[in-house]
């Protein structure tokens, strides 16, 4: 069984699409996934990669439509994802990352229905449904998010979504399909996990870390 670590921020529609696509493209493969919330803005700041700050929502919508996924742009957009990321972390069991159910609930909150993702009453309703194990407002939750983000950045993650497997990182709009090809041993996919065009300016190569 292969272990995957899925790095995501709810502000990214590409993360939502990749999350939904994973079970579809990895069917019949033996794997388990840890879902790691991180703050995209923190990743970009870590590598001084502000040139990638703008998210191509149209591309994500086209991909969602292609794969039969519902994707509605929240209004307003962009928004601050911190409260939702902290809620996901607070809803995880002690010492673990959030479950797929928790991550699905938070991502659907953002990317289905076109509502205000950061609106207090909606976030409170989501929290009541998830019943977090820890107080979302505690400093330790925010610290956990910051630590997860810096740890991800130090391992080579420079944007989301990204998936870690076999000491490699895969990223990009076609993340799920690329990962599936790699896990099935399709020739050429190892090289595609190391695409020079996706290398962050001023940063270390984001693959094959120790």
Supply φ then ψ for residue 78, to 5 degrees.
-75, 175
CATH classification at residue 192: 3.40.30.10
Rounded mean pLDDT of 116-132? Answer: 97
Based on the number of CB atoms within 10 Å of its own CB, is 94 exposed (0-12), middle (13-18) or buried (19 or more)? exposed
> What CA–CA distances, in Å, run from 30 to 3, 126, 136?
9, 32, 34
Q: CA-CA distance, 13 to 1, in Å (whole number)? A: 28
Count of domains forming the chain: 1
Residue 71 near residue 111, CB atoms below 8 Å: yes
Please check whether residue 207 lies inside any domain of the structure: no
- DSSP-derived secondary structure letter, 207: S
Rounded mean pLDDT of 82-110? Answer: 96
Please check whether residue 113 lies inside any domain of the structure: yes
Tokens of 77: 């957009």
Please check whether residue 208 lies inside any domain of the structure: no
Domain that holds residue 134: 2-198
Q: CA-CA distance, 122 to 24, in Å (whole number)? A: 29
Q: CA-CA distance, 201 to 199, in Å (whole number)? A: 6
Would the CA dihedral through 82, 171, 203, 197 be positive or negative?
negative
Please check whether residue 83 lies inside any domain of the structure: yes
Comparing CA positions, the residue from 29, 28, 41, 38 lying closest to residue 4 is 29
pLDDT above 70 covers a percentage of the chain that reads: 88
Predicted pLDDT at 47? 76
Residue 198 pLDDT greater than 50, yes or no = no
In this prediction the pTM is 0.89
Reported as a pLDDT band with limits 50, 70 and 90, residue 48 is confident
Please check whether residue 206 lies inside any domain of the structure: no
Tokens of 2: 């292969």
- Strand residues in 9-66 grouped as ranges (E): 31-37
Per residue in 81-92, pLDDT tens?
Answer: 999 999 999 999
Q: Average model confidence (pLDDT) for the chain?
A: 88
Rounded mean pLDDT of 85-110? Answer: 96
Per residue in 54-78, pLDDT tens?
Answer: 899 999 999 999 999 999 999 999 9
């Amino acid at each position: 069984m292969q272990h995957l670590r899925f790095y995501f921020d709810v502000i990214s529609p590409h993360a939502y699409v990749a999350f939904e696509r994973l079970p579809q493209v990895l069917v019949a493969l033996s794997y388990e996934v840890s879902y790691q919330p991180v703050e995209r803005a923190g990743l970009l700041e870590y590598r001084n990669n502000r040139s990638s700050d703008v998210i191509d929502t149209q591309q994500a919508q086209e991909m969602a439509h292609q794969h039969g996924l519902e994707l509605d742009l929240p209004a307003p957009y962009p928004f601050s994802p911190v409260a939702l990321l902290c809620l996901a972390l607070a809803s995880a069991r002690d010492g673990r990352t959030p479950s797929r159910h928790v991550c699905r609930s938070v991502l659907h909150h953002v990317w289905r229905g076109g509502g205000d993702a950061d609106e207090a009453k909606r976030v409170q309703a989501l929290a009541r449904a998830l019943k977090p194990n820890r107080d979302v407002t505690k400093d330790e939750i925010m610290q956990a998010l910051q630590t997860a983000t810096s740890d991800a950045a130090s391992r080579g993650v420079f944007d989301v979504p990204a998936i870690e497997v076999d000491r490699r990182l895969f990223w990009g709009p076609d993340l799920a399909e690329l990962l599936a090809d790699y896990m099935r041993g399709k020739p050429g996919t190892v090289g595609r996990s190391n695409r020079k065009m996706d290398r962050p300016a001023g940063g270390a190569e984001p693959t094959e870390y120790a």
